Amino acid sequence: MTQIKNICCIGAGYVGGPTMAVIAQKAPGIKVTVVDINEKRIAAWNDADLSKLPVYEPGLDAVVGEARGRNLFFSTQVDEAIAEADMIFISVNTPTKTYGIGKGMAADLKWIELCARQIARVSTTDKIVVEKSTLPVRTAEALKSILENTGNGVKFQILSNPEFLAEGTAVEDLHAPDRVLIGGDPDTEEGKAAIQALVDVYAHWVPQENILTTNVWSSELSKLTANAFLAQRVSSINALSELCEKTGADVNEVAKAIGQDSRIGPKFLKASVGFGGSCFQKDILNLVYIAQSFGLKEVADYWEQVIIMNDHQKRRFAENIVRTLYNTVSGKKIAMLGWAFKKDTNDTRESAAIYVADYLLNERAEVVVYDPKVSKEQILADLDYLGTRSEAENRDLITVVNSAYEATEEAHAVAVMTEWDEFVALDWDQIYNAMLKPAFLFDGRRLLDKEALKAKGFEFYAIGS
Ligand code: UDX
Ligand code: UDX
Ligand code: ADP
């Protein structure tokens, strides 16, 4: 029986940070050290002011406050933490490749490989290595081959333990997961012991029946499949939102009607300006790439359509703004409310807002953005990353402000991009009065009350109605 006393997590991001904080909170007997090469990020995790944590998640400050300094530590001393751990979680970023074979589709495993080599170099005692990042199927095999060829006699067991938390509800999801999935090698005694060791970590707070164990490949593929199914639901309802707009049906009514069928279920049927986040697109592209590499054209095409639909949804939202504003937005002030890819997070990766803003900037609009949790630096970095225009031009064309009222003053149009609660509570009369007329309002989230806003005088457009 292996009992875990010391955990190291490499990568202090949106996944590693919250997950380790909850493990430390729930298993006070285990020392958990989260390491990262990014010194600024580690400093923020160690900030005495808990409102300055680098990841914004409701409830996370309390969890970190409880465990930090007791059995939860954040550090840049990667080698030391690896050396003393019995179990190492790899939770580094795995972005889509931007070069070479598989460009734009396959995951870039450079960082994972660097981690594996570092673990191999530093370790002097046996370790269980856990893949936490979303990875293409069969990554564990690559990890294994790097780790097993160190020649220093240290033994490694590789587990896959995909993360299913959703941003914005990470702490809730970690406290009461629908399931925890652990993939390992059930055919050897060492493999079984490693699986059990990780089961025991989660068993501090997760009921046994919610902890599933599988072989490594099933676990890896389940993660991609779960995200592909979820994203497919969003693309499916978004495809119907366009048809609703043409036919006079209302997508919310359709979603409610189909969601009551227990075989379909009510969740994840909210039409939107398009899904974002670090996982959905990347995981589907990964699935498509894997299918293609096995020559499964129909399978690859089937899943790729989910992405094609999502890109279409973002583009048509932007096109509709331009068309509605008499076919030109050149020099017009457009207020974008929200930049995060969903509410209750400061994460902006793949946010629909980035693509809509880019489209409007190409049309020479004067875009003004307000998001309650996203910084100006992040917004500019997101646009620069697209590489559509020079950094100087981006700074020239886009303005980031500190309130929704400032953003909407004298605007030709307002576009709601993220479903932040505070946007519902805004004084929309005040906004209407300060806008140019006609006051156009585009709701990309079905957040606002259409009839009430029309009664105030807005020219109102909402996805799917
Ligand atoms: C997702 C998975 O839910 C999670 O299990 C996995 O671990 C990581 O990827 P996340 O990306 O954090 O989590 O958020 P999620 O709530 O899944 O939303 C993803 C995107 O879909 C967001 O842009 C959201 O606004 C959009 N969405 C979601 C819709 O447009 N409509 C919906 O009905 C649901
Ligand atoms: C369907 C709808 O379920 C029903 O609500 C509607 O009114 C009529 O169409 P039906 O065609 O009678 O009903 O059967 P259903 O149980 O939905 O199965 C349809 C097909 O899907 C069958 O061939 C079934 O074998 C197949 N199926 C269903 C699967 O292959 N896998 C599944 O998980 C479920
Ligand atoms: P995720 O959403 O998967 O958590 P993030 O990008 O938020 O992704 O976090 C990943 C973190 O991993 C980043 O803070 C990055 O600095 C860190 N990281 C990447 N490679 C290494 C490495 N070799 N050693 C330590 N930290 C790393």
Q: Specify the amino acid at residue 385.
A: Y
Residues 10 and 132 in one domain: yes
Q: What is the pLDDT of residue 274?
A: 98
Between the two ends of the chain, the Cα-to-Cα distance in Å is 59
Mean of per-residue pLDDT scores for the chain: 95
Whole-angstrom Cα distance, residue 281 to residue 49? 34
Residues 290 and 201 in one domain: no
Residue whose tokens read 């025991």: 200
227 domain-assigned: no
Q: Which ligand is nearest to the CA of 81?
A: 3
CA–centroid distance, 454 to ligand 1, in Å, is 30
64 domain-assigned: yes
Report CA 8 to chain centroid distance, whole Å: 23
Q: What is the pLDDT of residue 162?
A: 95
Question: Which of 174, 206, 238 marks a domain boundary?
Answer: 206
* pLDDT tens sequence across 84-119: 999 999 999 888 888 888 888 888 888 888 999 999
Residues 197 and 308 in one domain: no
How many structural domains does the chain have? 2
Residues 199 and 285 in one domain: no
For 408, the domain range is 280-462
Annotation marks residue 279 as catalytic: yes
Residues 197 and 304 in one domain: no
Q: What is the pLDDT of residue 140?
A: 84
Question: Which of 173, 206, 239 marks a domain boundary?
Answer: 206
- With beta carbons less than 8 A apart as the criterion, state whether 454 and 432 touch: no
Q: What is the pLDDT of residue 146?
A: 87
pLDDT at 451 over 80: yes
13 domain-assigned: yes
Residue 435's closest CA among 374, 358, 377, 368?
368
User: Which of 39-48, 138-147, 212-221, 239-248 has the least mean pLDDT?
Assistant: 138-147
pLDDT at 458 over 80: yes
* pLDDT tens sequence across 234-243: 999 999 999 9
pLDDT at 48 over 80: yes
- With beta carbons less than 8 A apart as the criterion, state whether 222 and 162 touch: yes
Residues 195 and 287 in one domain: no
When pLDDT is averaged across residues 398-418 and rounded to a whole number, the result is 98
Residues 191 and 305 in one domain: no
Q: Whose CA is nearest to atom 8 of ligand 3?
A: 93
* Highest mean pLDDT (candidates 94-98, 215-219, 273-277): 273-277
Residue 130's closest CA among 25, 16, 5?
16
Ligand 1: residues whose CB is within 6 Å?
163-167, 227, 230, 234, 268-270, 272, 275-277, 279-280, 341-342
Q: Which ligand is nearest to the CA of 261?
A: 2
Which atom of ligand 3 is the closest one to the Cα of 11? 12
Residue 186's closest CA among 158, 156, 150?
158
Look at residue 451 and give its three-state secondary structure.
helix
For the chain, count helices (H), then strands (E): 19, 14
The answer on whether 95 is annotated among ligand-binding residues is yes
When pLDDT is averaged across residues 301-318 and rounded to a whole number, the result is 98
Residues 294 and 146 in one domain: no
- With beta carbons less than 8 A apart as the criterion, state whether 104 and 285 touch: yes
* pLDDT tens sequence across 135-152: 777 788 888 888 887 777
Residues 290 and 389 in one domain: yes
Is residue 278 lining ligand 3, measured as CB closer than 6 Å?
yes
Q: Which ligand is nearest to the CA of 181?
A: 1
Whole-angstrom Cα distance, residue 242 to residue 249? 10
3-state helix, strand and coil shares in percent for the chain, rounded to the nearest 5: 45, 15, 40
Q: Where are the alpha helices (DSSP H) in 189-215?
A: 189-202
* pLDDT tens sequence across 150-201: 777 899 999 999 999 999 999 999 999 999 999 999 999 999 999 999 999 9
Q: What is the pLDDT of residue 384?
A: 97
User: Which of 135-149, 269-283, 385-399 has the least mean pLDDT?
Assistant: 135-149
When pLDDT is averaged across residues 42-70 and rounded to a whole number, the result is 97
Sign of CA dihedral 324, 328, 329, 332: negative
45 domain-assigned: yes
Buried (b) or exposed (e) across 398-417, using 16+ Cβ within 10 A?
bbbbeebeebbbebbbbbbb
The answer on whether 223 is annotated among ligand-binding residues is yes
pLDDT range class, residue 407, cuts 50, 70, 90 = very high
Q: Whose CA is nearest to atom 13 of ligand 1?
A: 166
Q: What is the pLDDT of residue 94?
A: 83
Please tell me which residue, 453 or 112, carries the higher pLDDT value.
Answer: 453
Q: How far is CA 385 from CA 33, 102, 279, in A?
A: 32, 19, 18
220 domain-assigned: no
Residues 179 and 316 in one domain: no
Residue whose tokens read 């409830």: 59
239 domain-assigned: no
Look at residue 159 and give its three-state secondary structure.
strand
Q: What is the pLDDT of residue 1?
A: 66
386 domain-assigned: yes
The CATH code of the domain that includes 439 is: 3.40.50.720
* pLDDT tens sequence across 252-272: 999 999 999 999 999 999 999
Question: Which of 165, 189, 206 marks a domain boundary?
Answer: 206
273 domain-assigned: no
